[in-house]
A and B are shown apart, each in its own frame.
Chain A
Amino acid sequence: GENVEQHPSTLSVQEGDSAVIKCTYSDSASNYFPWYKQELGKGPQLIIDIRSNVGEKKDQRIAVTLNKTAKHFSLHITETQPEDSAVYFCAASIEAGTALIFGKGTTLSVSS
């Protein structure tokens, strides 16, 4: 089955810096790659997603890139703010009717 590796497990940046989180997946048939943000004591929320027919997607300060050949995808956050501090999860799935497989998460800390 699918396996998703996520790095780094923790990331500390200064406010205004950029943050990059990387994930690799094992099943070349995977075609949907979302990113979720989880704040303390809450359930994760989708922040951005990308499908295999697209190489890059951007939404304000957040962007995701996908390299299907290398089987990896990355989350980029620019101009980080303290409210970006949270746990971020990447995930992958193969097709409709299956379930998302998540990475182990990255704890991002943004200090002001």
Chain B
Amino acid sequence: ETGVTQSPTHLIKTRGQQVTLRCSSQSGHNTVSWYQQALGQGPQFIFQYYREEENGRGNFPPRFSGLQFPNYSSELNVNALELDDSALYLCASSLRGVQETQYFGPGTRLLVL
């Protein structure tokens, strides 16, 4: 069984740039959720994708967008980066309708300068 993987592990961008983060879900899972974790805080929900559609969204602006592909992998895109976007971005996969346990990937650390 393959676990959740994310790429890249680290990323440095400058304010105003755009970034794409990638996530491969655990084998057999059909749902991907993205979370942002600022330093010293708990993860905050960004959005969830199920059957290639956004299924729910947290309190994040539209410049945070995503995709889910037929193989259930997912991308998180952030446009017009701001300094406050510096954080650990976590992807979690789960099997909707069976058990909602979410399994997390190792995360991508984004630093915006």
**A and B bound?**
no
**A residues engaging B (CB < 8 A)?**
none
Interface residues of B, Cβ cutoff 8 Å to A: none
